[in-house]
A and B are shown apart, each in its own frame.
Chain A
Amino acid sequence: MDNTEDIIGDSFLADLDDLSFCDSKEEDMNVSVNYDDLESVSKLQKTQGYLDMMKKVEDKLENKGNMSDLGDDNLEYKLIVECNALSADIDSEIVTVHNFIRSHYRHKFTELESLVPHPVDYAQVVKKIGNETDLTLVDLQGLLPSDSIMAVIASTTSGKPLPEENLKKTIDACDCILSLDLGKNKVLEFLESILGYVAPNLAVLVGSAVAAKLLGTAGGLPALVKMPACKVQLLGAEEKILAGLSSAHFRKQILKKIEKWQEPLPVRDADHKKKRGGGRISKKKHRYGVTNTRELVNQIQFGLPEESFLDDRFGEGYGMLGPSGSEEVRLPIRWRRLVAHFTKKFKDMHVVRSGASTGFTSCQAFTHAQGI
């Protein structure tokens, strides 16, 4: 396992180098991405990692019964991650080669890329049509749904047939895509069989591809099992975030917002809120309204200074409650804590209480000035 890992790691590094080499080559050419050579475009199938994995996959697919080396959890997880990565790589490779084919074939048949957007279907159709000018002679049965076939045949194009060497390159690229697609299917089949041993129920529930992705993002079966349900939802969100930054999705959101802004103004008071009355509604309202105690606190006796649970200067007054009212005052807990805090803090101040040991009752303050 470690050996293949190292090889894969190295091959990825090699891929990166190749990619940068490719980029510099593109910069030499003029503005549009015009691949001339299939070799520089599609490197994946030549990487060692790819070949190794494919070999492993095919081996395993042939001797299906032999799953004994999947006893180790860690090994299974690694294998699944590798398969995931491989299928993602194949996907991006297919896209690259698809662009390559398009850049050549659009000279011949411009509309085809919008009629048949899917890369693999496109490749098959291109291969079938070749350099043929009369589309009615081409038999596309089985490759596309019948309405697409109608659309393809009906479209009149202003393209001209490709020169021989370009045609050959295009057909080679189509073959490349088809073989990549086959490879991906094999990998997915392989993945399904692994999952059948690792997490069979999960695979049946959500499908093998999704199950593989879940396991991959979670970091293995034990990790996935430990997650609470809310976290499992977030696993998919990671992918979504990247997808959300894609320009098409972004553009759609922006267009929706602009449309909303441009709507005519709404009619005023059209959504008339029905205000209801009655004993039941009134009782409901009063549950969250001002209580009797609070009402008493809000009222203040005229002409007398308000009393409060702390000194006259601090604390919230209690209006008609307390000594000036008729109610007994029981302080809420947070007020009691405040009292303790303040008495401690200000006990050093030279303000002497005349007899009362607590600060609850307000009274005249006897200071040195009074001559104590």
Chain B
Amino acid sequence: MTSITFLFFSQRLKMTLTKKKEVDSVIRDTIDKVLVLRFGKASDLVCLQLDDILEKSVREVSKFASVALVDIDSEDVQVYVKYFDITLLPSTIFFFNAHHMKMDSGTADHTKWIGAFQRKQDFIDVVEAIYRGAMKGKLIVSCPLPPERIPRFQLIFKDV
């Protein structure tokens, strides 16, 4: 029951992208704003939590960020899944002016944010850190959150 209501929320305001062209155009067309691209499934619990937070903060960060959701299940998008090496869900990738922004949050993977955010304010802080770093011309920023609130995942390498 709860998952159905979450579904409703996540599809309400933000765009869910299923085609490569759509993803391309979104990345290209977001100018001078951070683009938050979430890769995930609408049925996954952690995804839904993340979507909830994103939903709630979309309007508040709208002056310096925009949010888009990408559905991993679609065929078209597998190119990106492979390119960004997305294995754990949900993964969030940040762009600024079509440039991929990395963030060092103390985890092994700096290229994306894995997992959900604990609070809305955490998400806003992360987006702001990325924005400020990007405006200064940095390519990688450090995460403003304390380590307790950063979700930890074990990266399992294939064939190892």
A residues contacting B by CB (< 8 A) are: 264-269
Q: Are B132 and A264 in contact (CB under 8 A)?
A: no
Q: Are B124 and A265 in contact (CB under 8 A)?
A: yes
Q: Which residues of A contact B135 (CB under 8 A)?
A: 269
Q: Which residues of B contact A268 (CB under 8 A)?
A: 64, 128, 131-132
User: From B58, which residue of chain A is reached at the shortest CB distance?
Assistant: A264
User: From B136, which residue of chain A is reached at the shortest CB distance?
Assistant: A269
Contact with A along B116-151 (1 / 0, CB 8 A): 000000001000100110010000000000000000
Other contacts beyond A265-B124, A267-B63, A268-B128: 10, CB < 8 A: A264-B61, A264-B63, A265-B60, A265-B63, A266-B63, A267-B64, A267-B131, A268-B131, A268-B132, A269-B132
Q: Which residues of B contact A266 (CB under 8 A)?
A: 63
- A selection of 6 A-B contacts at a CB cut-off of 8 Å is A265-B63, A265-B64, A268-B64, A268-B128, A268-B131, A268-B132
User: From B127, which residue of chain A is reached at the shortest CB distance?
Assistant: A265
Q: Are B60 and A264 in contact (CB under 8 A)?
A: yes
B62 at the interface (CB under 8 A from A): yes
Q: Are B131 and A265 in contact (CB under 8 A)?
A: no
Q: Which residues of A contact B62 (CB under 8 A)?
A: 264
B28 at the interface (CB under 8 A from A): no
B residues contacting A by CB (< 8 A) are: 59-64, 124, 128, 131-132, 135
Q: Which residues of A contact B63 (CB under 8 A)?
A: 264-267
What's the A-B contact tally at a CB cutoff of 8 Å?
A: 20
A272 to chain B, nearest CB (A): 10
User: From B64, which residue of chain A is reached at the shortest CB distance?
Assistant: A267
Q: Which residues of A contact B124 (CB under 8 A)?
A: 265
Q: Which residues of A contact B128 (CB under 8 A)?
A: 268
A367 to chain B, nearest CB (A): 58
Q: Are B131 and A264 in contact (CB under 8 A)?
A: no
A-B pairs, 9 with minimum CB distance: A264-B62, A267-B64, A264-B63, A265-B60, A267-B63, A264-B60, A264-B59, A268-B132, A268-B128
Q: Which residues of A contact B60 (CB under 8 A)?
A: 264-265
Q: Which residues of A contact B132 (CB under 8 A)?
A: 268-269
A286 to chain B, nearest CB (A): 31
Interface centre among A265, A266, A268, A269 (most CB of B within 10 A): A265
Q: Which residues of B contact A269 (CB under 8 A)?
A: 132, 135
User: From B59, which residue of chain A is reached at the shortest CB distance?
Assistant: A264
Report the bound CA distance from A264 to B60 in whole Å.
4
Report the bound CA distance from A269 to B134 in whole Å.
12
Q: Which residues of B contact A265 (CB under 8 A)?
A: 60-61, 63-64, 124
Report the bound CA distance from A315 to B50 in whole Å.
62
B141 to chain A, nearest CB (A): 13
User: From A266, which residue of chain B is reached at the shortest CB distance?
Assistant: B63
Report the bound CA distance from A268 to B61 in whole Å.
11
B91 to chain A, nearest CB (A): 25
Report the bound CA distance from A153 to B119 in whole Å.
57
Q: Which residues of B contact A264 (CB under 8 A)?
A: 59-63
Report the bound CA distance from A275 to B131 in whole Å.
22
B16 to chain A, nearest CB (A): 22
B96 to chain A, nearest CB (A): 13
A32 to chain B, nearest CB (A): 41
User: From B135, which residue of chain A is reached at the shortest CB distance?
Assistant: A269
Report the bound CA distance from A266 to B60 in whole Å.
9
Report the bound CA distance from A267 to B65 in whole Å.
9
A269 to chain B, nearest CB (A): 7
Report the bound CA distance from A264 to B61 in whole Å.
6
A270 to chain B, nearest CB (A): 9
Interface centre among A266, A267, A269 (most CB of B within 10 A): A267
Q: Which residues of A contact B61 (CB under 8 A)?
A: 264-265
B31 to chain A, nearest CB (A): 13
A309 to chain B, nearest CB (A): 50
Report the bound CA distance from A268 to B135 in whole Å.
10
B126 to chain A, nearest CB (A): 13
Report the bound CA distance from A267 to B131 in whole Å.
9
